Homo-oligomer: A and B are copies of this chain.
């Protein structure tokens, strides 16, 4: 294509469908969401890891079946004939990484990451083709103290965003309870899978459709099973208080309540989509009537690492997405003021002092101050307007006169107050005001 052809056909400024551009003001929000995540999980001693978004396709085919890989992921063949997938979730990646070191690494290992993930689906509110997801995982702890740490960390993070306990609810279940129930009702593996899917969809389908499905999958005992689904008490009575799943569940809830986490409830209809969970599963839901969405999801997956030939490795973790967190913060008015900020903006009354201004700016920056230098040839009044737009608290005037006398004027933009001082004194003052 020649230069002329290039120019004749203007390129589109649109991004690819279903993904986002982060302009600086959107990036400030994204950075806020991520930094609260990082600070919170690091206070619990979790360490950050990462990997490429490119993964061998077989990583997902084994667990999810080739169908899902083809229909819901970005998968293509590279020029070396390798099938490669843009990661749709992080758990297979972290399982792969942990497995590669499982024989030598110190345990427990506390790991987190904030990867971007890709799903090929029709974009809609809260569901994009690319989103970011905090993933927090604890490896090497077999007993429920691990589940309690993970759930209390999720709660700690919600508090760090400024949420009150009434803003969300933590729903908790145990795969072992679900399996015990299926066993109790003599439900075979294939029906069990369909039944879990049906229960998962309960609130999205009509009561009739649900009942019909239940009668098909739990013949003769459908109404009995329905009673189990609608009462915690019936579940526990059916399985008995000495059932392993029940014991774990009650101890986890009791532990969380002792930690002051009151908004946790047992929900035997909580299924979660992933097949790899083996114990406690949980989700955190927004309680706001206009946004009753799932915000966090996680659980225990003790068998996954073994798929990679790693040694026996208990694991429990959760994930939470940037889009859902953003929606939650917006609807609960928890977004902080994220204006653009700078310490000082250098205004040049005459055009000659550009290099000297840059030199003074560098000195102030070395002291830790955010400094912008006006680079144009605008009038002083316009430079000050520019300073206001930049979010700077102060303007510093640097002209020939100031450079001669070594006395500079510093103006506070909000109060219009001015002082005249040496650069050293101005630096001290700006650092104090920072």
> Which residues from B are CB-within-8-Å of A62?
1, 6, 9, 11
Beta-carbon contact of B55 and A15 below 8 Å: yes
For A57, give the chain B residue with the smallest CB separation: B16
Interface string of A78-118 (1 = CB under 8 A from B): 11101010000000000011011100001010110000101
Interface string of A140-164 (1 = CB under 8 A from B): 0101011011001000100000000
Q: Which of A166-174, A222-230, A286-294, A361-369 contacts B (4 or more CB under 8 A)?
A: A361-369
For A251, give the chain B residue with the smallest CB separation: B355
For A118, give the chain B residue with the smallest CB separation: B54
Beta-carbon contact of B17 and A156 below 8 Å: no
A307 to B10, alpha carbons, bound, how many Å? 5
Question: A238 on the interface (CB 8 Å rule)?
Answer: no
Tell me which of B120, B362, B377 contacts A156 (CB under 8 A). B362
A7 to B255, alpha carbons, bound, how many Å? 35
Interface of A is mostly: mixed
Beta-carbon contact of B355 and A148 below 8 Å: yes
A138 to B358, alpha carbons, bound, how many Å? 15
Question: A24 on the interface (CB 8 Å rule)?
Answer: yes
On chain A, which size bracket covers the interface? 35 or more
A149 to B375, alpha carbons, bound, how many Å? 9
Question: A219 on the interface (CB 8 Å rule)?
Answer: no
> Which residues from B are CB-within-8-Å of A17?
80, 82
For A122, give the chain B residue with the smallest CB separation: B80
Question: A426 on the interface (CB 8 Å rule)?
Answer: no
With both chains docked as a complex, state the minimum distance between the C-beta of A380 and any C-beta of chain B, in angstroms: 17
- Contact A22:B49 (CB < 8 A) given known A1-B62, A141-B376, A369-B43: yes
- Contact A120:B78 (CB < 8 A) given known A16-B55, A389-B106: yes
For A388, give the chain B residue with the smallest CB separation: B106
Tell me which of B21, B129, B309, B377 contacts A97 (CB under 8 A). B21
Question: A249 on the interface (CB 8 Å rule)?
Answer: no
List 5 additional A-B contacts (Cβ < 8 Å) besides A11-B96, A23-B101, A108-B376. Answer: A14-B56, A21-B52, A74-B76, A143-B377, A258-B359
Which 7 A-B pairs have CB atoms at the shortest separation, nearest pair first? A19-B52, A13-B100, A45-B372, A24-B47, A10-B309, A43-B365, A22-B50
Interchain residue pairs with CB less than 8 A apart (12): A1-B62, A15-B96, A16-B52, A21-B49, A28-B47, A45-B342, A106-B386, A108-B375, A110-B372, A141-B375, A149-B373, A258-B359
